[in-house]
Amino acid sequence: MVLELLGDTGIKIAALIIEIGNIGLLLGLLYLYVKSYRQIKIGFTIGLILFASALLLRSISTIAFLVLFSDVFIGKPILIGGIIEFIALAILLKITWDY
């Protein structure tokens, strides 16, 4: 499997890169949601802002965990979860950007 070829350090670096990508996507979503809220002040948009902010906090804390606690290694689940989240956020950003 590809993950075994990367080794522990490679998996950790890949997880960090994916989480940085997630942060970029979330910042893009937050920009669009705040812009939308300024135009049409509805509660649904506030919910989207809070949702994106919570995921942003999760991504930042995941990076902090990976950097600060290098002796505890659970990189595979973090990497796989980060990849799934990245794909979902990319789809959401594409849909949001188009509409």
What pLDDT score does 27 carry?
Answer: 97
For the chain, the domains span 2-98
Per-residue pLDDT tens digits for 82-93: 999 999 999 999
- Indicate if the pLDDT at residue 71 is higher than 70: no
Write out 17-78 in H/E/C secondary structure.
HHHHHHHHHHHHHHHHHHHHHHHCCCHHHHHHHHHHHHHHHHHHHHHHHHHHCCCCCCHHHH
Per-residue pLDDT tens digits for 22-35: 999 999 999 999 99
